[in-house]
Amino acid sequence: MEQMRADWDALFAAPVDAHVEDVVANGVPCQWIAASGARADRVIVYLHGGGYQVGSLVSHSELMARLSAAAAVRVLGVGYRLAPEHPYPAPLDDSLVVLAWLRGQGYLAQEVALAGDSAGGGLALSVLLALQLAGQAPPAAAFTMSAWTDLTAGGESYEARAALDPINQRPMLVAMARNYLGNIAATEPLASPLHASAAQMQKLPPLLLQVGERETVVSDSELFARKAAAAGASAQLEIWPEMFHVFQQFPELPEAREAVAAGGRFLAAHLSAASSRKNSS
């Protein structure tokens, strides 16, 4: 596992065009990433992907820097604990601890947004559900890329897109889910947010879910967006033609640059709208 993590970091590590500062948020290692001109009075909390078992602040720093530039907002990357050493709910607990730390730093809920890719995208949605269950105000918005929302891997696309997806196949995802879940059912909403009730989804903040057309996990975003919208939440779905899992992590692709730019605009707009509402009140 340690070799897999090192290989993953080596694969995605890249020069970062941003100011980077390590910080420990109530015991959780994090990283501030601020592109030139990024505002510091708003925060995008970023939860990296990697199936809850690989991925890190190293592997995702370049993507976080581009998101910071696109939104003109500082990003706080979360180095949550990984399975199988730290299964559910460790990543969720660490994410909630970081949000509590931000509140202690003086940030209001509407001054914070969430973003994440793959497992981190699913984790961002789980965080929203957990905050709601705790009776806490939600962040201003959330942006996900190729979110893994269904740890049962039950969506139609797991079979229909299997021949198109060069990265994720159902047996691998089921095995990763087993390592993360331990003895918890794959339908537990705080681990597998697609299985949340309509009442839980009703109060979600505005969402933008991006996914590639060639992905086996297309259903994870499609079904989540449909279910959230049916419950009354604002859930915008973008399926990018011919794209693969977390294509946004490859800046040489024009589609990746366009998608991150769109995600940045979405988050910036909702953070600015929250600021306006606060000022008018």
Report the chain's terminal Cα–Cα distance, integer Å.
51
- CA 29/CA 56 separation, integer angstroms: 10
Distances (CA, A) of 18 to 46, 107, 118, 232: 15, 22, 23, 38
**Quick one: how far is CA 159 from the chain centroid?**
24
Q: Which of 281, 251, 83 is nearest to 175 (CA)?
A: 83
Residues 262, 212, 116, 37, Cα dihedral to 10°: -30
Could you say which DSSP state residue 146 is in?
A: S
Active-site residues, by number, are: 118, 215, 245
Matching residue, tokens 């600021």? 275
List of E strands, the chain: 19-25, 28-34, 39-47, 73-78, 112-117, 142-145, 207-212, 235-240
